[in-house]
Amino acid sequence: MSDTRLSFQDLPKAWQGFLQACQSCNNCELHQTRDNVVVYRGSLTAPLMLIGEGPGAEEDRQGIPFVGRSGKLLDSLLQAQEFTARDFHICNIVKCRPPGNRVPTEEEAQACKRLLSAQFTLVKPKVIVLVGATAYKYFTNLNDPISKVRGKWIENSGYYIMPTFHPAYLLRNPSKKLEMWNDFKKVREKLEDLNLIQPMQHPFEFIEW
């Protein structure tokens, strides 16, 4: 899926300052082992924000979130629902790769929370998709099993929040693809209901992706 990221010089001043803050961050030990700070891909402002767990090896190498196998699966789903890179903004709970792709700790997530909050303010989303159990836990401060909460809307202060599976889980459990497909179908419908996105040109039922 094509990216809409601008060169640093073409970014608004607020975004330049934010990226500099991310790149200079040393609030936790993850900065010691990172190759790149992984901030975002997609649009600078978007009605939909997708928040994952943290960068993996390929994301750390490229400095872009969700570009490995999980990212390709996520892109296929977004394309099937006719989202374009202008419609969404993708980021993570933490912006530096945890060694060995382990789950970020509570301390690491808290250390990155200020940056995520600033990012949220810049993007101005209305609908938020929490991609995986870790994103759900650290964004909501709840610890329910993702299988129990996925696909259910959480309304908070005028925002619509949808937890769903992480695509890495689908790589191991492809039988769950239909459930995640239905989650993103709900997300698409919510954005259309809010008049934040045009109706799909060619709506269809589940296809293999």
- Residue 63's pLDDT band (boundaries 50, 70, 90)? very high
- pLDDT for 69-92, tens place per residue? 999 999 999 999 999 999 999 999
- Residue 18's nearest CA partner among 106, 127, 129, 95 is 95
Q: What is the pLDDT of residue 6?
A: 78
Burial class (CB in 10 A: 0-12, 13-18, 19+), 165: buried
Query: Which token pair is 63?
Result: 């400095």
Question: Which range, of 89-98, 126-135, 195-204, averages the lowest pLDDT?
Answer: 195-204
Distance in angstroms (rounded) separating the CA atoms of residues 98 and 60: 10
Count structural domains, the chain: 1
In a domain, 202, yes or no: no
pLDDT of residue 206 exceeding 70? no
pLDDT of residue 41 exceeding 70? yes
In a domain, 205, yes or no: no
In a domain, 122, yes or no: yes
Our CA dihedral for 51, 5, 181, 50, rounded to 10 degrees, sits at 10
Question: Which range, of 38-47, 87-96, 197-206, averages the lowest pLDDT?
Answer: 197-206
pTM of the predicted model as reported, rounded to 2 decimal places: 0.94
> What angle is formed at CA 84 by the lines to CA 82 and CA 87, rounded to 5 degrees?
110
In a domain, 209, yes or no: no
Distance in angstroms (rounded) separating the CA atoms of residues 167 and 132: 8
Coil vs helix vs strand at 182: helix
Q: What is the pLDDT of residue 204?
A: 62
pLDDT of residue 1 exceeding 70? no
In a domain, 27, yes or no: yes
Quick one: what percent of the chain has pLDDT higher than 70?
94
The CATH number given to whatever domain includes residue 114 is: 3.40.470.10
- pLDDT for 130-159, tens place per residue? 999 999 999 999 999 999 999 999 999 999
In a domain, 183, yes or no: yes
pLDDT of residue 20 exceeding 60? yes
In a domain, 58, yes or no: yes
Distance in angstroms (rounded) separating the CA atoms of residues 20 and 57: 22
First to last CA, the chain: 14
Query: Which token pair is 55?
Result: 């960068």
Domain limits at 177?
A: 12-193
In a domain, 5, yes or no: no
pLDDT of residue 57 exceeding 70? yes
